Structure 1
Amino acid sequence: MTKSKPIDFVERNNIKSFLALLRDWMAIFLIAAFSIWANNIFIYFVAVWLIGIFQFALGEALVHEVVHNNLFTEKSWHEKLEFLYSFPFLRTISSYREHHFPHHKYLFSDGDYIPEDYEFLGLNKPDKNVFMILFIKPFLGFSIYYFFIEVILYPLLQDSFNLSAIINGIKHSYKLYLFWLVVIIGFSLSGNLDILLLYWFVPLLWCFSFLSLLAEVQEHFNTFSGSRSNVNPVINFFFHNAGYHYVHHLCPTIPWYKLPAAHQALCADNPDISHGILDTYRQLIRNNQIDVESLDNLRVGYLPLSSDSSHH
């Protein structure tokens, strides 16, 4: 039997991609509509967290696929259609790419933002309380600050805080500002600005930011190999297989719907496999040391796609 190669799993499917986008948007609208109809504070808070889950599926899991040009057969569509999945989350695809690609190339070394973020969160302290850092503080609102710095400010300024970087960031993001100007004016004129606030910004700033922080930590913190795979089927159903993170680093051009098969074929023996949130938490608090050789394999994000030495 021929051994599988990363290239065997690389393809693009417009129908699957549009259906995935449609699923998330429909879920958000239907949950919001039901909550408005029910007019109940308990149902509202449940709705906020459910909307936040689908916001994360759309604005992080699928946008992450967009950043790697994994959604559409036409490469140009990924940026042309960013009003569907990136602008609603206050960022552009180009700024996300500038911020994200060094993470693949320089994983856990100079150039990767992850070590700095872990330091910022307090995860490098010997007396850290992981439960407090990952669950209590974000739930109480700390993740909003992290969201603003990590998701909006850093990508916008390309990690540089001088005046020219700010002006440059604004120039490159004018479509984003126009998008939100139209949205806010539209909701305002229709008398529904409160709906935009309650059913978009509250889930975004509370739940989406909570999940963003949690995901960034669970994907790489305290691993042997450099990246953790969460193979829990429920998590991967909601988040478009985003749990299969190790194989994504091996070959970032594999689309989300091929990641489970690629994981089984290419790296099922990875030492950092979690089967759910409790399993992940146990791994986050264990004592271990990262394997440098494994990091080198992941840093490329450039596994050869064929039997020759060509890199993607």
Structure 2
Amino acid sequence: MDLFVSESAPIDSSLDCPTLSADTLKQLNTRSTAQGTLRLALHLLILLSSGYLWSTNIGEHWPIALPALVIYGFSLAAMFAPVHECSHRTVFANNTLNDAVGWIAGVLSFYNITFFRRYHKWHHRYTQDPDKDPEMSDPKLQTWGDYLLAMSGLPWWWGKLTTHFRVAMGQLDSYPFIPETAREEVIRSTRWQLGVYAIAIGISIIFGQPWFITYWLLPLFIGQPILRFILLAEHTGCSGDRNPYTNTRSTLTLLPVRLLMWNMPFHAEHHLYPSIPFYQLPIAHQQLKAHFSHVEPGYIHVNRAIVAGLNSAV
């Protein structure tokens, strides 16, 4: 079984890096199915409530419909957060439950957890390594135009479409992080996911209703820029070495964002100790925050700093 709960980039032994004690880490590493279920229930409550308001006010009460669409769209896009947490298998004490919830969350957010788990394992192992970290393959932001394009989510959509179809066709040579032993599982999982979308599209066509667009495609298109705004802060502008105290950023943000992102804003803590479940990260933050180079007061602050360092050419 491919467990992925604790592997991170090897720390340079020459670095003087403080760490949590073995006893503290043991306590923080405790997984809780109750905590995972509660967070999932809250996320789904926000998703379904905002989706209901969106569906019942379309074309009639736009002052209600538009904010509901934004919240609903971000809730859909933020289903990436349980995909991420379940890929580490730290959300629930039961690994089968982690995999099942992560797969369904991936269908909603257009990620595939079976693929993502291997992709993300390399991201942790080779964080900020330009030759091996898969996230480093994304185009580097150099101009305002690059930034605006990234914020639109269009490169993300294109990347997801091409990746899903390549994987479904068995074309995995471009993905060295997928071992030979996992190829059949990744291909099968991706094909099943694309099959779910095909069924949803088919139902919309049969009933002559734009349900697939209205309740999935459009909201996710609206929510993706918000998610891009958040995820860009994780490593952009941080060091390119193996020091987890300098190569990853934690961002202090509002409670609703922390809730829907499953505490991913405490990203430096997560990269240092991927085995710590999401609900324990605020505790880890209190013990480690003084040692991190990048703890920023909000995503607007981070993105302003990123934009300030770009070439003004669009």
* TM bin (shorter chain): 0.7 to 0.9
1:229 alignment partner in structure 2? 250
Q: Does the CA-based 8 Å contact 1:98-1:158 persist in structure 2?
A: no
Instruction: Report Cα offsets for 1:194-241 as digits up to 9, x if no partner.
Output: 233112211212322x23433332100112411000122333133221
Q: Which moved more, 1:42-51 or 1:219-228?
A: 42-51
**C-alpha distance in 2 between matches for 1:249 and 1:231:** 16
Q: Which moved more, 1:23-32 or 1:251-260?
A: 23-32
1:196 alignment partner in structure 2? 212
**C-alpha distance in 1 between matches for 2:55 and 2:110:** 24
Among 257, 270, 281, the alignment partner of 2:292 is 270
| TM-score of the two chains, using structure 1 as the length reference | 0.74
Instruction: Report Cα offsets for 1:12-63 as digits up to 9, x if no partner.
Output: 1112212222222222222122223223345333222111221233x21111
> Structure 1 stretches of 5 or more lacking a match?
288-312
Q: Does the CA-based 8 Å contact 2:81-2:260 persist in structure 1?
A: no
1:177 alignment partner in structure 2? 194
Instruction: Report Cα offsets for 1:146-181 as digits up to 9, x if no partner.
Output: 2330586179455728xxx9x966444232133334
Q: Does the CA-based 8 Å contact 2:111-2:160 persist in structure 1?
A: no
1:299 alignment partner in structure 2? none
> Cα–Cα, structure 1 residues 193 and 144, in superposed 2: closer, same or farther, change >3 Å?
farther
**C-alpha distance in 2 between matches for 1:276 and 1:36:** 32
> Cα–Cα, structure 1 residues 219 and 83, in superposed 2: closer, same or farther, change >3 Å?
closer
Among 231, 243, 265, the alignment partner of 1:243 is 265
2:7 alignment partner in structure 1? none
Instruction: Report Cα offsets for 1:40-95 as digits up to 9, x if no partner.
Output: 345333222111221233x2111100010011111122223445312223332110
Tell me the C-alpha RMSD between the 2 structures: 3.0
> Cα–Cα, structure 1 residues 184 and 18, in superposed 2: closer, same or farther, change >3 Å?
farther
Q: Does the CA-based 8 Å contact 2:28-2:276 persist in structure 1?
A: yes
**C-alpha distance in 2 between matches for 1:32 and 1:172:** 27
Identity of aligned residues (%): 20
Q: Does the CA-based 8 Å contact 1:91-1:152 persist in structure 2?
A: no
**SS across alignment from 1:268:** helix
> Structure 2 stretches of 5 or more lacking a match?
1-19, 240-245, 310-314
| TM-score of the two chains, using structure 2 as the length reference | 0.74
Tell me which amino acid in the other structure corresponds to 1:65.
Answer: E
